[in-house]
């Protein structure tokens, strides 16, 4: 079934075999976000991994995020800082008269 949602053309897939084809073999083609002006402005020229179209630059940003920013070791390393920041946010709320 073909549907148009705003400016985006959508094909509804109801067959499991065709869905596997879309998700496994053609995922790069269908996973990319459309290039649009508001995403370009909001991300500062596609400098954000969240709004960038899928491609080489997005893959590089994803790798940096995965291994450097969102890693388990970084999570443990910043634990004390997160607790400290949470305390700073909490004190003004609970210290009110």
Query: Where in the chain are the domains?
Result: 2-94
Paired strand residues for 10: 3
Q: Which residues of 59-92 are buried (b: 16+ CB within 10 A; e: fewer)?
A: eebeeeeeeeeeeeeeeeeeeeeeeeeeeeeeee
Q: pLDDT band at 95, cuts 50/70/90?
A: confident
Query: Which tens digits make up the pLDDT trace of 11-47?
Result: 888 889 988 887 888 777 777 777 888 888 988 888 8
Query: Which tens digits make up the pLDDT trace of 51-92?
Result: 888 888 888 999 999 998 889 999 999 999 999 999 999 888
E strand or H helix at 3, and its extent? strand 2-5
pTM over the 0.85 mark: no
């Amino acid at each position: 079934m073909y549907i148009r949602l705003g400016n985006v053309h959508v094909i509804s897939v109801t067959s499991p075999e065709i869905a596997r084809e879309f998700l496994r073999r053609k995922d790069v083609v269908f996973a990319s976000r459309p290039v649009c002006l508001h995403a370009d402005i909001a991300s500062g020229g596609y400098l954000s991994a969240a709004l960038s179209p899928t491609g080489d630059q997005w893959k590089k940003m994803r790798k940096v995020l995965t291994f450097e920013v969102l890693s388990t070791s970084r999570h443990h390393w910043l634990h004390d800082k997160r607790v400290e920041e949470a305390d700073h946010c909490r004190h003004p709320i609970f210290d009110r008269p």
